[in-house]
Amino acid sequence: MIVVRFAPSPTGYMHIGNLRTALLNYLFALSAKKRTGEDFSFVLRMDDTDTERSKPEYEQAVYEDMRWLGISWDRLEHQSKRLDRYNQVLEDFKKRGLVYACYETAEELEYKRRRQRARGLPPVYDRAGLKLSEEEKKELEAQGRKPHYRFKLEHKETSWDDIVRGHCSYNGAHLSDPIIVREDGTFPYMLPSVIDDVDFGITHIIRGEDHVTNTAVQIQMFEALGAKVPVFGHPPLLTGREGKLSKRLGSLSSRELRDEGIEPMTIACLLARLGTSDPVVVCHQWDELGDHFDLTLFGRAQPHFDTEDLFKLNPRIVRSMPLAEVNARLKERGEPEISEAFWAAISPNIDKIADIAQWEKICFHDDVYQIDEADRSFCRQVVDFLPEGDFDETTFGLWTTLIKEKTGKKGKDLFHPIRMALTGREQGPELKMLLPVIGREKTIMRMQG
């Protein structure tokens, strides 16, 4: 069984880059299910070990965003609740000589890095901690220093076949031994993530390429835990007008996108293709989008993301939405459901669900529109030519043919006054579609003024 995970840190509102990671994992699992028939499981993991920056409101926002996107999870985990487990692994690693204590302060480490750079050397940790004798350590601790711990990387080639990047290989000698416990006893992301991935049986890890060097380090940790190494896929990060997208750059958060009327499927359809050379397909269901998805088609170049592209795609998604879905959306918004005929009439004219309300008002209110005198007298004259019986999509054609015959008016001179009387606007949905929606009674009333 395929097990994927999405592991946000609840330290801010999610932005498009986070949503992308969540949806690429989900689509990958859906597409694998389609290909192999194998079921999958989706783990949502809160990377909340940073107790100062993690906030309950950001965590709630993650749930809300995921629900909004329509991605459900089969298992929910919190790193903050698993500290005993991480400490247990740490003790085991200590016993096996896989970790070592270090005593440098952040300033001292920074000084070392600066000196290395000045000499043209890569800023790789010099393993000074590893060379300390027991007496030296005692002495440092007597001075009031507390140890932090680093994982001792093997100086060997670590490689994997990345779904997106192909064969990847890093030599441990060129990487700094990662700090896995800070001097205050807290765990940075690196080791807990691996322990969780092992314990939760994660089979595939899809995450941004900013984690590629972490992967080389983490593979050695999987090996140290005696676990099977998952399959990795690192799609390139999105670039935007602001350069690399990140929370700090103030990119649009998912809630802002939602407030702007962007549909979750607009985001999903666009991001399922951005970075591939395939065109966007308009889908309304995750399953359907999953059928077309292939992570191996993602290229190595950073795709350019422009929020404008979401605004351009959104009308295509909304206009082709099945009525049941439109009504579900309206219900969520506390707005009344609409009929098939009304939707068929107005859908070509709306860009987002919120636009429906305005046409609803236009079609169903009881007032008449103020129009200029010449138009009014024309409308009063032609209202009598309305065909008998219930209005349907043929009514407008029959009516206007008769008007042409009787008045000699055609084109704009004919349509414009009627549109103004019926809708109060210069432009809008096709009148042939609107007429049955507005109905005989209101049409007569609005024509007469």
Give contact residues for ligand GLU (rule: CB under 6 A).
Answer: 7-9, 47, 189, 193, 207, 211
Q: Which is nearer to ligand GLU, 27 or 353 (CB)?
A: 27
Please spell the DSSP secondary structure of 79-98, one letter per residue: GGG-HHHHHHHHHHHHHTT-
Instruction: Point out which residues pair with 243 in neighbouring strands.
Output: 240
Element housing 112 (H / E): helix 106-118
Instruction: Round to whole Å and give the CA distance between 10 and 339.
Output: 41
CB of 28: closest distance to ligand GLU in angstroms? 13
Single-letter code of the amino acid located at 143: Q
Q: Which H, E and C letters describe 216-281, residue by residue?
A: HHHHHHHHHCCCCCCEEECCCCCEECCEECCHHHCCCEHHHHHHCCCCHHHHHHHHCCECECCCCC
Give whichever of 132 and 190 is closer to ligand GLU, judged by the CB atom: 190
Q: Are 227 and 196 in contact (CB under 8 A)?
A: no
Rounded to an integer, what distance in angstroms lies between the CA atom of residue 198 and that of residue 398?
A: 71
Minimum distance, C-beta of residue 100 to ligand GLU, in the bound complex (Å): 24
Smallest separation, CB 10 to ligand GLU (Å): 9
- Tell me whether residue 79 or residue 395 sits nearer to ligand GLU (CB atom): 79
Rg (CA), the chain: 31
- In the complex, minimum distance from the CB of residue 258 to ligand GLU, in angstroms, rounded to a whole number: 21
- Give me the least distance between CB of 113 and ligand GLU, in Å please: 23
- DSSP symbols for 380-401: HHHGGGPPSSS--TTHHHHHHH
Residue nearest to ligand GLU as judged by C-beta position: 47
Task: Tell me the C-alpha to C-alpha distance, in Å, between residue 126 and each of 123, 129, 181, 202, 442.
Answer: 9, 8, 18, 33, 83
Angle CA(214)–CA(306)–CA(349) in degrees, nearest 5? 140
The answer to whether residues 29 and 76 touch, using CB atoms and an 8 Å cutoff, is: no
Q: Smallest distance, Å, CB 179 to ligand GLU?
A: 16
Nearer to ligand GLU, 152 or 207 (CB): 207
For ligand GLU, the closer CB: 47 or 177: 47
Cα–Cα nearest to 231, from 202, 190, 210: 202
Closest distance of CB 214 from ligand GLU, Å: 7
User: Which residue, 44 or 431, has its beta carbon nearer to ligand GLU?
Assistant: 44
Nearer to ligand GLU, 191 or 265 (CB): 191
Q: Which is nearer to ligand GLU, 57 or 390 (CB)?
A: 57
CB of 195 to ligand GLU, least distance (A): 12
